[in-house]
Structure 1
Amino acid sequence: MLVLAALFVAVSLVASRLFAPNHPTPEKLEPYECGIEPETDARDRYSIRFYLVAMLFVIFDVETVFMFPWAVIMDELALFGLIEMIVFLFILVVGYVYAWRKGALEWV
């Protein structure tokens, strides 16, 4: 049965390649930007600082993901849960200070 499924997929791909219309035009080769002609090359490189900001966003977004459930069951966790969250937030603040001192948050 698995061989039959693989054969069906292979035949479908080959048939699609053989019988599909192929009319390349310059418009089809351009990147799509909401119907507007692109002003610059679509393959321009972004500054690495955008990735650093994105990573910091992900880190602090994960903080939020952990804090909302903690806030919901805070009464059940009592003092242990409070101490655990304080340690977690302390580690995040240390990471934030480290990123700040390394210059990851400064834009030139």
Structure 2
Amino acid sequence: MPVMEVTEGEQQMIFGFRKCLEENNESQLKIVEETYFAKSKQTIFTKAELAKKWSCSTRLVSQILNDHEVKPVGKRGKEHEFDIEQAQAAKENHDKRVLRAHELSMKIRAM
């Protein structure tokens, strides 16, 4: 393989390009990390985001929030936003009630 001679000026340009690329990559990684950690610390969700988080439909999320009278804390576009703590408490209460109703129905069927 032939060896190519590089002048000192060209070598400095190459090192400058490398440094520029490294700084650009570092800044992009920093932005990605900030976005990732911001999502993990998110405390306000829309119904669609809650449905995705809980792996259910938005209709069920609406029913859970309405049954437990969870009020929206804000608005994002046309969507209402709900506090995750209140929504999670409502979901746990709803799940307990549904499981209890299922147990009762199974007992009644066994009789």
Same-fold call, TM > 0.5? Answer: no
TM-score, length-normalised on structure 1? Answer: 0.29
Greater RCO (Cα-Cα under 8 Å, separation 6 or more): 1
